[in-house]
Amino acid sequence: MKKGFIFDLDGVITDTAKFHYIAWKDLAQSLGITIDEAFNETLKGISRMDSLDKILAYGQRENDFTLAEKEALAQKKNDEYVKLLADLSETDLLPGVHDFLAQAKEHNIPCSIASASKNAPMILEKLGVLDFFGHIVDPETLKKGKPDPEIFIKAAECIGVVPNDAIGFEDAQAGIEGIKAAGMYAVGISATETLAGADLQVTSMTELDIEQLLTI
Ligand code: G6P
Ligand code: MG
């Protein structure tokens, strides 16, 4: 029996990738770098600073900024991103998410969030689902980002579940790799990408049968 669920946030609970994309695209543009949606795909699951580093490397500007300047650029991107999230509400939950979380609660299955986003608590609050989660891993406490398993191991530990008894839900390749490296069952959620290594892939949470998952 599985005893705990660990969720990524962006692309699993809500679709914030489009807002990250707008904010990164604008910032990159201001530096003379053009990114497209295919490049944005490679930023999914990657921390704010690592995303900035990837963009600068892509535009061959990786040696042009001091750490303080890069921090200011990351802050500028986040300011725009947070503005774009102003109207986020329960209607922005991805299909099947609310139902699935409610069912997990009925089954007394603890849930936690393993997201690289420092905006996770604010986003979950706006979506009206904060109370479903027993813990949100603070990405500031991590030594390594996804695909390292650290965030998933912490997310399981914090809800008192051993990795082998946990199921991780992810929309990004780096996340699936992290879940598998943590020794958990990986559910990939994506309608557009094939997530290599996922134990099960669905296009949305509406396809998931909680009773069946728990007995895996
Ligand atoms: C998630 C998203 C990434 C984002 C990261 C950091 O993992 O998939 O695209 O860069 O969180 O988010 P933040 O809200 O802290 O900038
Ligand atoms: Mg994601």
Query: 119 CA distance to ligand 1 centroid (A)?
Result: 8
Residues 126 and 154 in one domain: yes
pLDDT for position 50: 94
Residue having the nearest C-alpha atom to atom 11 of ligand 1? 117
Residues 57 and 74 in one domain: yes
**Taking the chain (216 residues) in consecutive chunks of 10 residues, what is each chunk's mean pLDDT?**
97 94 98 95 90 98 97 98 97 98 98 97 98 97 94 98 98 95 98 95 98 95
Ramachandran region, residue 213 (left: φ > 0; alpha: ψ -120 to 50; beta: rest): alpha
Task: Report pLDDT digits (tens) over 95-125.
Answer: 999 999 999 999 999 999 999 999 999 999 9
Q: Which domain-ending residue is among 66, 84, 102?
A: 84
Residues 78 and 174 in one domain: no
Q: How do strand 135-136 and strand 200-202 relate by DSSP bridges? A: unpaired
Q: Which domain-ending residue is among 84, 118, 143?
A: 84
Query: 165 CA distance to ligand 1 centroid (A)?
Result: 26
Residues 132 and 66 in one domain: no
Among the listed residues 2, 1, 7, 3, the one whose alpha carbon sits nearest the alpha carbon of residue 112: 7
Residues 74 and 118 in one domain: no
Give the count of domains, the chain: 2
Query: 53 CA distance to ligand 1 centroid (A)?
Result: 13
pLDDT for position 92: 97
Q: Which residues line ligand 1 (CB under 6 A)?
A: 10, 20, 43-48, 51, 78, 115-119
Residues 110 and 179 in one domain: yes
Binding site membership for substrate: which residues?
A: 8-10, 24, 43-48, 51, 77, 115-119, 146
Residues 133 and 148 in one domain: yes
Which residue in the list 8, 36, 99, 131 is annotated as catalytic?
8
Tokens of 158: 């914090």
pLDDT for position 41: 86
pLDDT for position 8: 98
Residues 63 and 123 in one domain: no
pLDDT for position 193: 87
Q: Distance between CA 160 and CA 147 in Å, rounded?
A: 22
Q: Which CATH number goes with the domain that contains 132? A: 3.40.50.1000
Instruction: Decide if 92 is catalytic.
Output: no
CA torsion, points 188, 190, 193, 197, in degrees to nearest 10? 10
Residue span of the structural domain in which 77 resides: 17-84
List beta partners, residue 136: 113
Q: Which domain-ending residue is among 65, 84, 103?
A: 84
Q: Distance between CA 149 and CA 102 in Å, rounded?
A: 27
Residues 56 and 111 in one domain: no
Residue having the nearest C-alpha atom to atom 6 of ligand 1? 117
Q: Which CATH number goes with the domain that contains 66? A: 1.10.150.240
Tokens of 172: 């990004």
Ligand 1 atom closest to Cα of residue 115: 7
Q: Distance between CA 127 and CA 73 in Å, rounded?
A: 27
Question: For tokens 């089954």, what's the residue?
Answer: 107
pLDDT for position 211: 96
Residues 44 and 141 in one domain: no
Neighbour tally for 183: CB within 10 Å: 15
Binding site membership: which residues?
A: 8-10, 24, 43-48, 51, 77, 115-119, 146, 170-171
Residues 201 and 114 in one domain: yes
Residues 114 and 136 in one domain: yes
Instruction: Decide if 79 is catalytic.
Output: no
